[in-house]
Amino acid sequence: MTTEDRLRDAFRADAETIQSGTIRPAPAAPEAARRGSELGADRPPGGLHLPAGLRRARGASRPRLPRPGRVRGLRPAGGDAGWARSRPAVAALAAATAVAAIAVAATVAGGSGGSRSGALSVLGAPTPPAPRYLVGTVQLGHARGLGIFNAQTGKRTGVVRPPARGMSFLTVAATAPGRFIAAAVHSSPHNCSSTRLYRLTLTSRGKLARLAPLPGGRVSGTLTSLGASAGGRVIAYAANHCNGRPGWLGVIRPVTGQSRQWPLRSEGLLDLTLTPDGRTVYFLNTQVLEGDGSIRAMSTSAPAGPMTRRARIVLPAGSASGSGGSIALAGHGRILLACQEIQDTAVLTAYRAATGGELAVLHTWPHVDVSPCTLTAAASGGYLLISDIGTHLWRMQLGSGGTRQLPIATDAVDQVAW
């Protein structure tokens, strides 16, 4: 019996110890309520939150995150001396190879408080058009399907229902504009080991063109993260065993049918990303899953075996002294973007993917009483999708650092890709 099954069983049994008819009757209306007076006493104890809908109904505006911008909000996280130290303007990122000259320029804004803004300039590589459509998991009745959204208008242009009854889509990754890999799993906990990967293709109008099983795309565990190389020649995923124990990092090459796995030991792998060529997988050994908080990289051709011996540390634990977080790659896999929670601030930072050297703090969102943002790089490059922060999804153009709120509420979609 899995941990989840044991929980459900225990909760069900515990619930049955309290039977209908044995609890007290409803309380009488308090006098003040009968008079209709405004007591303002319905705040939960301890000054804790109320549901967003209720807050709006009461006219008390929900604390809003500051609108991200290129300069505003880019300030050190309060209380962390590490962020207060002076950093030189980031010089050109010397190309390890002579192929593309990728330079990163960090514009340090003057003024008190150390405000700074950062932008990544991919020299010689014009920014591609922003993705037209994004795909995210959405609730469809009792199952989770996929919603296709126009990234400009926010309109839902299509829906992909789960491929079979009892299944739900779990997560999705983009391989190219309009092309995705999606993972679907049986909703029943008894079928935990039946995760299947599917190829998804959109029409130019944002409708589903094709949904087909990915060759070799059967995963015997619970998927926690999914990544794809450009074109989808390499798929990487992290999976846990059905009982919740750490599972493995897996790589599938659909063209050749090859797959390889590396068992997880102490790693708490929640977020991974592949370089566009599919040669390297970067992952966050997140503290959320008892990891050490480091960011590591591993060749997807590494021999099978314990991952601790195969993966190199790009950012050691403590260097990005936050918890949780999300990572993405930009600049043809040469720039590593990490969003980390440091105290109550979400910080988006760019690093050299090869060495872990810090390039620029691209943005900060102070006073974020939620998990750090989730990053999704566009398959076409040049753009970053930022979710799980505030009420709407955000788009960042990496070349300019400019951000724009997308007309898609974070409530509307869960796992997203574009």
Judged by the rule CB under 8 A, the positions of this chain that interact with another protein are 3-4, 6-18, 20, 23-27, 29-30, 32-33, 36, 39, 41-42, 44-46, 48-54, 57-58, 139, 224, 240, 243-246, 268, 270, 286, 288-290, 324, 369-372, 374, 387-389, 410-411, 414
Comparing CB distances to another protein, the nearer of 22 and 97 is 22
CA nearest to 261, candidates 277, 246, 243: 246
DSSP state of 307: H
Comparing CB distances to another protein, the nearer of 16 and 257 is 16
Return the bridge partners of 237, or none: 226, 250
Comparing CB distances to another protein, the nearer of 125 and 288 is 288
Comparing CB distances to another protein, the nearer of 288 and 302 is 288
Joined together, the tokens standing for residue 291 give 């990891």
Q: How far is the CB of 167 from another protein (least distance, A)?
A: 16
Q: How far is the CB of 75 from another protein (least distance, A)?
A: 22
Q: How far is the CB of 399 from another protein (least distance, A)?
A: 27
In angstroms, the first-to-last Cα distance of the chain is 37
Q: How far is the CB of 105 from another protein (least distance, A)?
A: 30
Contact at 8 Å (CB) between 295 and 312?
no
Strand 280-285 versus strand 295-299 pairing type: antiparallel
Task: Indicate the burial class of 398 (C-beta count within 10 angstroms; 0-12, 13-18, 19 or more).
Answer: buried
Comparing CB distances to another protein, the nearer of 7 and 89 is 7
Q: How far is the CB of 183 from another protein (least distance, A)?
A: 14
CA nearest to 301, candidates 333, 334, 270, 256: 256
Comparing CB distances to another protein, the nearer of 23 and 98 is 23
Q: Vertex 379, ends 373 and 385: CA angle to 5°?
A: 20
d(CA 329, CA 177): 16
Q: How far is the CB of 179 from another protein (least distance, A)?
A: 25
Joined together, the tokens standing for residue 46 give 């301890």
